[in-house]
Chains A and B, each alone.
Chain A
Amino acid sequence: MTELPPEARRRLLADARELAGAEGELLHGRYRLLRELGRGGMGIVYEAEDTALGRRVALKRLSFAAGLGPGLAEAVLREARAAARLDHPHIAAVYDAYPDALVMQLVEGGSLAEVTDAPLRVRVTLLRDAARAVQHAHEQGLVHRDLKPHNLLVSAGRVFVTDFGLAQELAAPGSRSLSGRVLGTPGYMPPEQAAGLAREVDARSDVYGLGATLYHLCAGRPPFVGADVVALLRAVVEDEPPPLARLAPYVPRDLALVVQRCLEKDKARRYPSAAALADDLENWLAGRPVVARAPGLAYRLAKWGRRHRAWVAAGVLVALVAAAALAWNLATRRAFGLTNEALGLAAELELLSENAAFAGREEVPASEAAALEQGLVRCREFLARHPDAGQIRTALGELLAALGRDDEARVELERVRVEEPGNARARLALGLVLARAEARQRTVEGDTPAVAALATRARAELEVARTHAAVLRTLDVRRAEAELLRLEGRLAEAEARYAELVRVAPRAASPPALAALALAQGDPDEAFRQAMAAVDFARGLAPAYAAVPESATPEAELAQAVRQHLRSADGLVAIEGFTARFTDWDARLARQKSTAAAYGQRALGELRQAARLEREGRSAEALAALARAAESLGLCLTIAPELAEAELDRAALEHERARLCRTLQLAREADSAEMRARAACARARTLGADPARLAALEVP
């Protein structure tokens, strides 16, 4: 190979320079780049001269354009042109749009990030104006997706929203490419975006962005900070930001409530529109009461429960159960005689479902979400080629269900139901989706006719599944029924059903399910035994793992270990070693943790009961249920005193108790509950609990 002389290298690079932008260059025969104003993920912003009109403009050169395909480049252009149609006194005008550049109004001044020392009313007024501008864009069908102080420029006391539509096109519907990617600035990003759930992003995501900006204007920092992006994204999805009352005590409570409402994790709990936010800011400016309210007791309990589940699920045993369940399902699936491609796909979907189910729908991390999106895309492509592949559609339905996208899951499963009425697995999955919907709705609405109808349908599906089932599938049905009973908390009946299964066909009584049952019944020893049986069983399944593609990123470390071992050539030996190690010293830890987890689960059940009683106005009984929950948590902490999360949970619970005591006029009891809450916080602090959560709980 010819070694290039330096001069040739220089020439080659000089000729390749259109790969990047530079000052002095004339773009599109009209815009002369004058100086760089700044750069970011989207590209470089220049001050430029429009040589045709002789005016100064801001030109944003989109560096990512080089990485876009023709289809997406077109989408960028289309959206940028839509942004160019926005005409609002508080939106920086877009003059011109090219596939690789946007020409915008030059706003001379600073960003909103630089006005944090202006009087609070001034800051709030600026944000109100920005919210009105954002509303205008929403009415034109444009979502900003990256609202933050740096995108809100201030010139002569006037705010201008910039960069409209820049993030949007990248995840425009139909552009499947980047939909799972995380775009935007993590510290200000709504959780749905941080989780990579592009299709969840809507106008209310901008409400979050505005709220995060307001938070910054009050506290001088975004709601979430951190050097590690992955940890930061996780915090955005899972944690509560430090309360403004702590970071900026001078901020009046009503304004803090407005911010809090914007930053709700659940979109449905935010302001429904940017206009609603602007109105409420207007209320505050005018000294009227704000619409935003402190969230209700039931909601706080629900939120508590979500977090609580997270650490319960983190128990080692649960991870093992998840891994074993995967092996089990794969083996069963092979018996259906799928083609290799379909089997591979099914296996991948299975892995993804498993990960999704394990992570829980609120907590899918961004990397996982991206892998999931890709899996979904591949699956839909496969289905486009083989529309009658009922097994794959069923697997897709199951995956969607595991993601908590029950509505989409139902669509797929209902379709299979119509096309293949005899597909027992689809009917089963549909039955379980319906049952889940029922269980969910029952917690919210109680026993309404709609809930009863759902229950009937769920039962009917399972009934049909049973009628159509072949031998193996019959076992599946029975297993599902047992599972359903477990879901409904009818543990004794579930146990009876499982016992029956074991009698009929010992190998069909899925050990993972039995382990889960035992766990739910608070019998960790039995759960452990069953999980071990599942691992033993999985040892026989190494070939099934050959079909598992590399692309899925498993969530649980332990599940991963099991899978890896099974996949490798010497998997059998490895798994043996793994099992031995596990039964040895790890076992102590695992058993201890799972016992703690069992008590934790019991506490959760009692807490749910408390929430229901409270909703029904039975406050005294709710208080008693809370006391029982506190007792369970206490037991849990006796076993695993290092569980900082549980300590935090205890603090939260005691706060709720105190609140309830006050409504019942039990002042003395309320005081001692508060004291216990404080003590729990102190212990959590020594255990190194998450400071953000701790701070939230320490606020009186």
Chain B
Amino acid sequence: MDERIFPTTLWSEVRRGGARGSARAAALDALVRRYQGPAEAYLVAALRLPRERAHELFQEFVAWMLASDWLAKAAPERGRFRGFLKVALRNFASDELRKERAAKRGAGVTGSLDAEAAPEPLDARTPTPEAALDAAWRAELVQAAFARLEQELAAGGRAWQFALFRDYYLAAGPEPDHRTLAARHGRSLTDVSNGLQRAKKAFRETLRALVLDTVGDPGELGDELAWLVTEERA
């Protein structure tokens, strides 16, 4: 456990605001890039773009956000980073739509001003941009925690625990039982049981640490973890 009970997170660093502009921008930049995938998923859903175009647009989004000092304007929305990012993306996307329509009008296509912000209606199966972001976000978190766990266990000389963990979760069909794993990895049953338990615990901690970076305080951490877990089960 960190010596400070609630260590400074990237997001709280960003949220702290005040005068340290460059450090804040750097923290925001780092965070946004970490969740590039979910952000792009949002853009794909909101603007009906191909992946590649979303990828390019993401860079523009980052530049737009930093240049417009969006954070300062978004004061009431300051909450968890995920929520903040959604609001920022929503604004950015509607800017984009406006620009696009203006371009179309300029090209002689008639457009009604009343139809402004709303894109074409979606059918029920198409996810909303928000839902697309959430789903990608959850996947991103689990994926990142998994990758980090591998690194951390390897660095701590416990690569075998990760190997157990990976086999346990990545097996097709039902989870393999401890006996199978013991035979496959040449370990005792006790080793398998303990190793798996430790790796699971480490995974939870890693996941928690990643989520922590996107919230500003402990209360929000609990809520964000609750969201992460409950939605997936629902």
Total interface residues in chain A, CB < 8 Å:
53
User: A17-B233, A43-B222 are contacts. A67–B19 as well, Cβ < 8 Å?
Assistant: no
A53 at the interface (CB under 8 A from B): no
Contact B142–A19 (Cβ < 8 Å): no
Contact B204 A18 (CB under 8 A): yes
Binary A-proximity of B198-234 (CB < 8 A = 1, otherwise 0): 0010011001100010000111011101111110110
Beta-carbon contacts under 8 Å, B44-102 to A: 75-76, 78
Q: Could you jot down 13 A-B contacts, CB within 8 Å?
A: A2-B166, A4-B142, A9-B143, A12-B145, A17-B233, A20-B225, A20-B226, A20-B227, A43-B219, A63-B219, A63-B221, A64-B222, A177-B4
Tell me if B153 counts as interface (CB < 8 A to partner A). Answer: no
Does A26 sit at the interface, judged by CB under 8 A?
no
Please list the residues of chain A having a beta carbon within 8 angstroms of any beta carbon in chain B: 1-6, 8-22, 39-44, 61-64, 66-72, 175, 177-178, 181, 227-230, 367, 550, 553-554, 557, 560, 564
Complex-state Cα separation, A10 to B231, whole angstroms: 10
Assess the A64–B218 pair: CB atoms within 8 A: yes
Bound Cα distance A183, B233 (Å): 32
The chain A residue with its CB closest to the CB of B230 is A22
Selected contact of B232 from candidates A14, A41, A177, A230, CB within 8 Å: A14
| Residue of A6, A11, A14, A557 with most partner-chain B CB within 10 A | A11
CA of A42 to CA of B220, assembled, Å? 9
Give Cα A10 to B230, complex, Å.
11
In this assembly, does B20 line the interface, its C-beta being within 8 Å of a C-beta of chain A? yes
Task: Choose one: B143, B145, B226; the contact of A44 (CB below 8 Å).
Answer: B226
Q: With contacts A8-B170, A64-B219, A550-B23 known, what are 13 further pairs, Cβ within 8 A?
A: A4-B170, A11-B169, A12-B142, A12-B145, A13-B138, A13-B142, A17-B233, A41-B217, A63-B218, A177-B6, A230-B17, A553-B18, A554-B19
Looking at chain B's contact residues, the main secondary structure is helix
A553 touches B20 (CB 8 A): yes
A5 proximity list for chain B (CB < 8 A): 170
The number of chain B residues touching the other chain, given as a range, is 35 or more
A13-B1 Cα distance, complex, nearest whole Å? 22
* B216–chain A nearest beta-carbon distance, Å: 11
Q: Pick from B2, B16, B219 the residue with the most CB of A within 10 Å.
A: B219
Complex CA gap A230/B19 in Å reads 14
B182 proximal to A (CB < 8 A): no
Q: Which residue of B is nearest A19, CB measured?
A: B225
Residue of B nearest to A368 (CB): B18
Q: In the bound complex, do residue A21 and residue B226 qualify as a contact, i.e. CB atoms below 8 Å apart?
A: yes
Q: Closest residue of chain B to A20, judged by CB?
A: B226
Contact B169 A12 (CB under 8 A): yes
Is B233's CB under 8 angstroms from A4's CB?
no
Measured between beta carbons, the chain B residues less than 8 angstroms from A6 are 139
Q: Mark B127-154, 1 if CB is under 8 A from A, else 0.
A: 0000000000011001101110010000
Whether A16 touches B207, Cβ cut-off 8 Å, given contacts A4-B170, A66-B218, is: yes
Give the residues in chain B near A3, CB-CB below 8 Å. 143
Q: Given contacts A10-B232, A16-B203, A20-B226, are A72 and B219 in contact (CB under 8 A)?
A: no
Interfacial chain B residues near A66, Cβ < 8 Å: 208, 218, 221-222, 225
Contact of A67 among B3, B18, B166, B218 (CB under 8 A): B218
Check B203 against A9 for contact (C-beta < 8 Å).
Answer: no
Query: Which B residues lie within 8 Å of A61 (CB)?
Result: 222
Residue in A9, A62, A228, A557 with the greatest tally of chain B CB atoms within 10 Å:
A9
Partner among A12, A177, A227 whose Cβ is within 8 Å of the Cβ of B146: A12
State in angstroms the CA–CA spacing of A273 and B219 once bound together: 31
Tell me the bound Cα distance from A215 to B196 in angstroms: 56
- Quick one: closest A residue to B175, CB to CB? A11
Q: For the complex formed, measure the closest distance between the CB of B152 and the CB atoms of chain A, giving whole angstroms.
A: 14
> For the complex, is B115 an interface residue (Cβ under 8 Å from A)?
no
Q: Is A367 a contact partner of B18 (Cβ separation < 8 A)? A: yes
Minimum CB distance partner of A6 in chain B: B139
Partner of B229, one of A2, A20, A44, A177: A20
B109 within 8 A of A: no
Contacts of A71 in B (CB 8 A): 5
A13 touches B232 (CB 8 A): yes
Instruction: Report whether B222 and A227 are in contact in the complex, using a CB–CB cutoff of 8 Å.
Output: no
Give the Cβ gap from B74 to chain A, nearest Cβ, in Å. 11
Cα–Cα distance between A177 and B6 once the two chains are bound (Å): 7
Q: How far is the CA of A69 from the CA of B23 in the complex (A)?
A: 27
In the bound complex, how far is the Cα of B232 from the Cα of A393, in angstroms? 54
Nearest-neighbour CB distance to chain A for B12, whole angstroms, equals 10
The residue in chain A whose Cβ has the minimal distance to the Cβ of B21 is: A564
Name the A residues within 8 Å of B142 (CB-CB): 4, 9, 12-13
Among B4, B200, B232, B233, find the residue whose CB has the most chain A CB atoms closer than 10 A: B232
With A1-B147, A69-B5, A228-B76 in contact, is A63–B223 under 8 Å at CB? yes
In this complex, what residue of A is CB-closest to B18? A553
Q: Determine the distance from Cα of A557 to Cα of B20 in the docked complex, in whole angstroms.
A: 11
Select A19's contact among B146, B204, B218, B219, beta carbons within 8 Å.
Answer: B204
* Interchain CB contact (< 8 A) of A367 among B4, B16, B217, B230: B16
Contact (Cβ within 8 A) A13 B229: yes
In the complex, what residues of A have CB within 8 A of residue B5's CB?
Answer: 67-69, 71-72, 175, 177-178
Question: What residues on B are CB-neighbors of A20 within 8 Å?
Answer: 222, 225-230
Report chain A residues within 8 Å CB of B221. Answer: 63-64, 66-67
Shortest Cβ distance from B147 into A: residue: A1
Nearest Cβ distance between residue B50 and chain A, in whole angstroms? Answer: 20
Q: How far is the CA of A39 from the CA of B223 in the complex (A)?
A: 9
Contacts of A70 in B (CB 8 A): 1
0/1 string, B117-130, CB within 8 A of A gives 1: 00000000000000
A95 → B minimal CB distance (Å): 22
* Cβ contact of A68, chosen from B147, B203, B218, cutoff 8 A: B218
Is the beta-carbon distance between A69 and B207 smaller than 8 angstroms? no
Nearest residue (CB) in B for A41 is B219
Question: In the docked arrangement, what's the CA distance between A12 and B147, Å?
Answer: 13
Given A9-B139, A178-B5, A367-B16, A63 and B229 contact (CB-CB distance below 8 Å): no
Q: How far is the CB of A36 from chain B (nearest CB, A)?
A: 10
Q: Which residues of A contact B138 (CB under 8 A)?
A: 9, 13
Contact present for A67 and B228 (CB under 8 Å): no
Residues in B whose Cβ lies below 8 Å from that of A15: 200, 203-204
Nearest A residue to B227 by beta-carbon distance?
Answer: A20
A541 to B232, CA, bound (A): 57
